[in-house]
A and B are shown apart, each in its own frame.
Chain A
């Protein structure tokens, strides 16, 4: 009997019910949002890993100041991994005028690069073409800067050590030279291992950096990295794809967080729509339920029938949502072509299974209570033709809905504190909306309004408290969710925009000697630049401590700065906490007073396994400087400003040799100043990060587009809620519109009174939602997105206007349908 009742044909007939149609659309929207975001972030992460591999020119690198022990190569090869050795060191050549010029020599062997491709050309400063070979024996490839700065041209020979090399090609791109801090400042000379011995360039005194590049199957690479880390050799540093480009990762992580939040918001809004829709469905099915009960059906039988239908619709909608999500992620991938710009494997199937689970859980979580109410239909009341709405237990609804949201949020975000925050906010919001709605009804019912134009909508609101509270709560939750996204999205975009204003620094000037400081400042000021901030910088080597037989110190998780060797750091000193830095532990210091103290960036503190209160030592020149860690800083990496992992008190470091570093924005028409600066201040090096910035800009632009696109899902979910909210009580509304029409009311009169009624609902819901959205925006901006937050009164305008007008117009659209029908239809229903 049960199976028969659940026949698909029966379901199709049910699907004419507005309630089930809304459930179908709401579940499909939620699932589409979850799956498209899931697929998309999956692909973006894969893309970033591929990009990062390119920036390492490998999947992992072992680096050291001495030759990498052969055991690493042997083990890598045993794991079927490709390997390639590499040596980098500074050297000097004489330019055409006989003036010495610092160069960065890179010696590579076959297979280099293991990831990415070299590009070469015959002309200066062009992109060049990809090539898979290396310089021939006796020749080197050099970058454009070397030719332009030394006066050499292609095919000329240059003396390097004991050998002479032909400058055969211009090296326009090497994949592992893209990171901002990972490059040596001097122009590049690329040669092969075969030439290095004869040249006698390398000596024990050379400040060489040796690398072993490794690439291959990702599991084998992980095994290799794990094995290498287990060896725990403090003189070696292991770099993997997770550690490169903190700037881009930071931006993409924020975007991924936002996309995750957007899909969570879509789920919450869709849940609200499902709750409304199942209420509608329960109202529409109360006659059927009552007749079943009259004919002897048990409460459980009735429950099984309607629950079965709800679950069938949820499954169908989940499948539909998965298909939409799959299509949508292709569109997203197209939109974000710069992020997902490389050939990628298909995303995993996890989003599909997530989608179906999310669809089922939210359908049950939000739909269970209204469906349960169908078991308790009063048969007598229905037989006496008394219209009444089945009583839905608000406590049960709330508990089941909150449990469903909790499960879905936790499962999707895997972040208990974020989940608890959202749960707390939602509970407070629902409670506040209920109080405000009750207060509204109380006030309205006491307003001495005489004019029918106003009295009809006000009385309509005052006399239907349960429906009004339901509408205000659901609309409020929907509007709040949309406003939160809007608030954070603005903050996110503002931060990104602020990171890359048109005048974002595009040059780093390093190696400025203290006696050159004032000259450089004067030069820049006379060229019309704002006085730049010069940051002092000294080289120091972290001195690992050995305790209990274990080295405490570098664990290989570098974040990219100290490329000159393991444990080598650029140390800075400062009286004040630098801009773009935030203290997350400890406090800032009294700069002039003892004891000696360090300030560490949080990632580096993690990598070194140290915390506030620990004593650490850096070796600078021949001296060791020990100090206590006073605080841990969080650095905004995507700000592109000069940042340091380690900062000391000025008196600790200013006695050692140090140089200055600064960043500045150089417009194209002033590019010449770099040449003048290099000539006037020997030793100063300028590097151009314009390519990196423009790459970041395009990635951010793409991610922004993706964010907008996912935002449209939540907007659509919002519209479904709106539709559901105005459909609540539609049956009574239709009858009343028909009565008013039969009494001679004109369309305009009905429209205006319905509009006022819905505007009041939307306005109240919108204002409360704006208040909570601002609060939630503050909490989430600070704790999840790490964005600066400022209260924007515009949110209240959006909430009030969007809520009032949006709900008002939606109400009008519903009523428009009713007033067009001949009144007899409404009276006969």
Chain B
């Protein structure tokens, strides 16, 4: 029986102008269901790449990743997408909302992809719970950074994810808004009992997790 997220000998290498560049080197880790894990490290240490690998958003050069009990190496892109749909949520530093969709439509989209009925009702409820009742029909470009990140949080939790991947969720926000978003994130995680994998530079935010992992030059320093 695998933990909810696990990596074995995970290596990611890309070809740079000066030859091969190792971004992740032999990473091994296990995250249990319900756990909150922070990944910290200096810029370029491979934190975001590791998060992408664990979520099945990228393909490793070698090694394997197990997510929700499935070996991602055995799956094609559609297979990985199927695992994510309705079970995995994301909050990104750059928000990554669909620019042509309103806040409400962005949340609805995730629910519809998860195959949930009454997506409109759930989406409205989620946006209300992040304080965006008045902004539901606004396009992302009409929202501030903090509001966009609240939409992203609502979208991530609308599907009641088993695992939530958050990549610098407060990195683009001022400290007050960052705190607000962090509070929402942790509150909802508790409410929906989601496992959290959080990449952050923010030591205070990391300290709210159950465990902190540190990356250094593509290697995991302490587990």
Interface residues of A (CB under 8 A from B): 452, 455-456, 459-460, 462-464, 732, 735-736, 738-749, 819-820, 822-825, 827-828
Residues of chain B contacted by A823 (CB below 8 angstroms): 57-58
Are A746 and B78 CB-contacts (below 8 A) given A452-B112, A740-B113, A822-B59? yes
| B88, CB-defined interface residue at 8 Å | yes
Contact with A along B72-103 (1 / 0, CB 8 A): 00000110011111111010101011111100
Residues of chain A contacted by B97 (CB below 8 angstroms): 739
List 29 A-B pairs, Cβ < 8 Å.
Answer: A452-B112, A456-B109, A460-B100, A462-B100, A738-B57, A739-B98, A740-B98, A741-B81, A742-B55, A743-B90, A743-B155, A744-B82, A744-B83, A744-B84, A744-B113, A744-B114, A745-B113, A747-B77, A747-B78, A748-B78, A749-B113, A819-B77, A822-B57, A822-B58, A822-B59, A823-B58, A824-B49, A827-B94, A827-B96
Known contacts A741-B77, A744-B82; can you find 9 more A-B pairs with CB under 8 A?
A732-B99, A736-B99, A738-B96, A742-B90, A743-B90, A743-B113, A744-B88, A819-B77, A822-B52
| B110, CB-defined interface residue at 8 Å | yes
CA distance A820 to B86 in the complex (A): 21
Q: Are B109 and A735 in contact (CB under 8 A)?
A: no
CA distance A354 to B195 in the complex (A): 68
Interface residues of B (CB under 8 A from A): 48-49, 52, 55, 57-59, 77-78, 81-88, 90, 92, 94, 96-101, 105, 108-110, 112-114, 139, 155
Q: Which chain A residue has the least Cβ–Cβ distance from B112?
A: A452
Q: Are B109 and A827 in contact (CB under 8 A)?
A: no
Q: Are B113 and A459 in contact (CB under 8 A)?
A: no
The smallest beta-carbon distance between A184 and chain B, in angstroms, is 80
**Tally of A-B residue pairs with Cβ under 8 A?**
85
Q: Are A736 and B52 in contact (CB under 8 A)?
A: no
Are A827 and B88 CB-contacts (below 8 A) given A452-B112, A736-B99? no
Top 5 closest pairs, chain A to chain B, by CB: A744-B85, A463-B100, A824-B58, A824-B52, A824-B57
Q: Are B139 and A746 in contact (CB under 8 A)?
A: no
The smallest beta-carbon distance between B3 and chain A, in angstroms, is 21
CA distance A741 to B83 in the complex (A): 11
Q: Are B81 and A744 in contact (CB under 8 A)?
A: yes
Q: Which chain B residue has the least Cβ–Cβ distance from A822?
A: B58
Residues of chain B contacted by A822 (CB below 8 angstroms): 52, 57-59, 77
Q: Are B98 and A742 in contact (CB under 8 A)?
A: no
Q: Which chain A residue has the least Cβ–Cβ distance from B115?
A: A744
Residues of chain B contacted by A828 (CB below 8 angstroms): 48
Q: Are B58 and A743 in contact (CB under 8 A)?
A: no
Q: Are B86 and A452 in contact (CB under 8 A)?
A: no
Q: Are A743 and B110 in contact (CB under 8 A)?
A: yes
Q: Are A745 and B139 in contact (CB under 8 A)?
A: no
Q: Are B77 and A820 in contact (CB under 8 A)?
A: yes
Chain A binding surface, main DSSP class: helix
Residues of chain A contacted by B84 (CB below 8 angstroms): 742-744
Task: Select B100's contact among A459, A746, A819, beta carbons within 8 Å.
Answer: A459
The smallest beta-carbon distance between B118 and chain A, in angstroms, is 12
Q: Which chain A residue has the least Cβ–Cβ distance from B97?
A: A739
CA distance A822 to B55 in the complex (A): 11
Residues of chain B contacted by A825 (CB below 8 angstroms): 58
CA distance A743 to B161 in the complex (A): 11
Residues of chain A contacted by B101 (CB below 8 angstroms): 459, 463
Q: Are A736 and B57 in contact (CB under 8 A)?
A: no
Residues of chain B contacted by A741 (CB below 8 angstroms): 57, 77, 81
Q: Are A464 and B100 in contact (CB under 8 A)?
A: yes
The smallest beta-carbon distance between A291 and chain B, in angstroms, is 20
The smallest beta-carbon distance between B207 and chain A, in angstroms, is 27
Residues of chain A contacted by B86 (CB below 8 angstroms): 744
Residues of chain A contacted by B114 (CB below 8 angstroms): 744
Residues of chain B contacted by A462 (CB below 8 angstroms): 100
Q: Are A743 and B85 in contact (CB under 8 A)?
A: yes
The smallest beta-carbon distance between B43 and chain A, in angstroms, is 14
Q: Which chain B residue has the least Cβ–Cβ distance from A821?
A: B77
CA distance A828 to B110 in the complex (A): 20
Residues of chain B contacted by A463 (CB below 8 angstroms): 99-101, 139
Task: Select B109's contact among A738, A743, A746, A819, beta carbons within 8 Å.
Answer: A743
The smallest beta-carbon distance between A423 and chain B, in angstroms, is 35
Task: Select A742's contact among B49, B57, B59, B112, beta carbons within 8 Å.
Answer: B57
Residues of chain A contacted by B82 (CB below 8 angstroms): 744, 746
Residues of chain B contacted by A744 (CB below 8 angstroms): 81-88, 113-114
The smallest beta-carbon distance between A56 and chain B, in angstroms, is 70
CA distance A92 to B110 in the complex (A): 101
Q: Are A745 and B100 in contact (CB under 8 A)?
A: no
Q: Are B88 and A452 in contact (CB under 8 A)?
A: no
The smallest beta-carbon distance between B111 and chain A, in angstroms, is 9
Residues of chain A contacted by B77 (CB below 8 angstroms): 741, 747, 819-820, 822
Task: Select B96's contact among A455, A460, A739, A819, beta carbons within 8 Å.
Answer: A739
Residues of chain A contacted by B58 (CB below 8 angstroms): 822-825
CA distance A740 to B85 in the complex (A): 10
CA distance A740 to B106 in the complex (A): 10
Q: Are B85 and A745 in contact (CB under 8 A)?
A: yes
CA distance A739 to B112 in the complex (A): 14
Residues of chain B contacted by A745 (CB below 8 angstroms): 81, 85, 113
Q: Which chain A residue has the least Cβ–Cβ distance from B172?
A: A385
Task: Select A827's contact among B59, B78, B92, beta carbons within 8 Å.
Answer: B92
Residues of chain A contacted by B92 (CB below 8 angstroms): 827
Task: Select B98's contact among A736, A819, A824, A827, beta carbons within 8 Å.
Answer: A736
CA distance A748 to B77 in the complex (A): 11
Q: Are B96 and A746 in contact (CB under 8 A)?
A: no
The smallest beta-carbon distance between A468 and chain B, in angstroms, is 11
Q: Which chain A residue has the least Cβ–Cβ distance from B110?
A: A743
Q: Which chain B residue has the least Cβ–Cβ distance from A464?
A: B100
Residues of chain A contacted by B105 (CB below 8 angstroms): 455, 459
Residues of chain A contacted by B81 (CB below 8 angstroms): 741, 744-747
The smallest beta-carbon distance between B177 and chain A, in angstroms, is 16
Q: Which chain A residue has the least Cβ–Cβ distance from B90?
A: A742
Residues of chain B contacted by A738 (CB below 8 angstroms): 57, 96
Q: Which chain A residue has the least Cβ–Cβ distance from B52?
A: A824
CA distance A462 to B109 in the complex (A): 17
The smallest beta-carbon distance between B37 and chain A, in angstroms, is 19
Residues of chain B contacted by A739 (CB below 8 angstroms): 96-98
The smallest beta-carbon distance between B108 and chain A, in angstroms, is 7
Residues of chain B contacted by A827 (CB below 8 angstroms): 52, 57, 92, 94, 96
Q: Are B100 and A452 in contact (CB under 8 A)?
A: no
Which residue among B48, B57, B83, B87 has the maximum number of chain A CB atoms within 10 Å of its CB?
B57
The smallest beta-carbon distance between B52 and chain A, in angstroms, is 4
